[in-house]
Amino acid sequence: MIKIKTLSNGLRVVTEQMEGVRSVSVGVWVNAGSVFEDENNSGISHFIEHMLFKGTERRSATDIAVEMDSIGGNLNAFTAKECTCFYAKVMDRHIGQAVDILADLLLESKFEEEATEREKGVVCEEIYMTFDNPEDLVFEMGSALFFENSSLMRPILGTEETIRSFDKAKMREYMATHYTAENMVVCCTGSFDEQEFERLIDESFGKVASGSRKAAAEHKPERGMRVGFAEKDNEQVHICMTFPGYPLGSREYYALAVLSNVIGGSMSSRMFQRIREQMGLAYSVYTYPMAYRGIGCMCAYAGSGDKQAVKVLKLMIEELEKVIDNGISEEELHRCKEQLKGSYVLGFESTSSHMNAIGKCLLLQDKEYSFEATLSAIDCVTMEQTEAVAHEVLNPDRLSFSAVGRVGAIEGDMRAAMEAFWEKHGQA
């Protein structure tokens, strides 16, 4: 049973007891991500995530790592476009240390100048790594094109220029605005004593300062197909098409998830079977939906050698056109719904997966998460819904296309293929 409590300072706490486990996962979700940044502080949410592990008033960076290892636990964090999450997973008897360490990181970090300068180098290397990974780069390009002129276009990592500009004052200022009680959710799932956990949170997080909740700006992709190419001396050309989708919590998102599964989201999907299994033209080919507050998207990806990349792109377009023109079959609908439910259930059997789902839902959607409602929403997807979603989403009038690799000799052919797709199915 999920329980939600709000502390006197406005901090929301959500818990779920789980039977038959000996672990507990504790997460602190913060309404801070790249959508809240601008051109002057791009990447600061992610940089602060790094810096909170570099030493507090009571613990050095080494102390933090040694203490968590000494209790056999896992401590980590991640930054997304709309949120940052700090989390620990430990044996149930160590929940007190987990909460204390997380509170120490978020409330008592020192931001020492030497550690800050050192971490700038680490994060810049992370940025360079993205540029050296063509699959990461093609998605970054696609996102920048699709979300052009909105805050969602900004990279989570920021840029080398902005990273080099960060100092203690700038980080403190950002945290004072976003790391407030109303902008945070503490989540605990697994094996724990409820009263003891409430006491721990009151003592550790009850002193978090209050502040107004930050709302991300609304986003609406501009009409017109956008195309981008990046020349890199890779063995493969990496292709990404980004289509409009649906926001978090929307009914249509589940129909899109099923549709994506039919097109390229599983081993039995159309793109995977035709391009990889029948034609042998790619190792990796897939589609997946993404959902944010107020908007979403669906990406289609393939990586293939430059000699067959144009053919792969045309085959991807052919499979999309078949769905637009003819829809999907009842057998595909049933199979992909069952595959989605199975993947969802199997991926939901740990305390950490519960913590992720419950904490994120409360932070971003202001509601209690329901496992059963999610399964029901997948079950309720109909042929009529998938047909309506296909015609709305697969319309290339709001499509972005990006390609990374040895594209110089084939850029014209790729543009022609995309333009033919747009002329046939766009402007609807």
pLDDT computed for residue 316 by the predictor: 98
Neighbouring residues of 17: CB distance < 8 A, sequence distance ≥ 6: 1, 190, 191, 192, 194
pLDDT band per the 50, 70, 90 thresholds, residue 216: low
Average pLDDT along the chain = 95
Neighbouring residues of 168: CB distance < 8 A, sequence distance ≥ 6: 111, 113, 116
pLDDT digits (tens, 9 = 90+) for 239-259: 999 999 999 989 999 999 999
Q: For a pLDDT cut of 70, what percent of the chain falls above it?
A: 98
Residue at token pair 């039977």: 19
pLDDT digits (tens, 9 = 90+) for 49-77: 999 999 999 999 999 999 999 999 999 99
pLDDT band per the 50, 70, 90 thresholds, residue 125: very high
* DSSP track, 356-380: HHHHHHHHHHSS---HHHHHHHHHT
Adjacency order of strands within the sheet including 184-190: 2-6, 12-17, 184-190, 23-30, 84-91, 74-79
Told to judge if 49 belongs to the known catalytic residues of this protein, a careful annotator would answer: yes
Rounded Cα–Cα distance for residues 165 and 405 (Å): 31
pLDDT computed for residue 419 by the predictor: 94
Neighbouring residues of 332: CB distance < 8 A, sequence distance ≥ 6: 262
Catalytic residue (one of 37, 49, 140, 332): 49
Rounded Cα–Cα distance for residues 284 and 275 (Å): 9
pLDDT band per the 50, 70, 90 thresholds, residue 428: very low
Rounded Cα–Cα distance for residues 227 and 44 (Å): 29
Which element (helix H / strand E) includes 404? strand 400-405
pLDDT computed for residue 411 by the predictor: 97
pLDDT band per the 50, 70, 90 thresholds, residue 413: very high
pLDDT computed for residue 378 by the predictor: 96
pLDDT band per the 50, 70, 90 thresholds, residue 211: confident
Q: How far is CA 21 from the centre of its chain?
A: 27
- Complete domains list, the chain, with CATH: 2-205 (3.30.830.10), 226-425 (3.30.830.10)
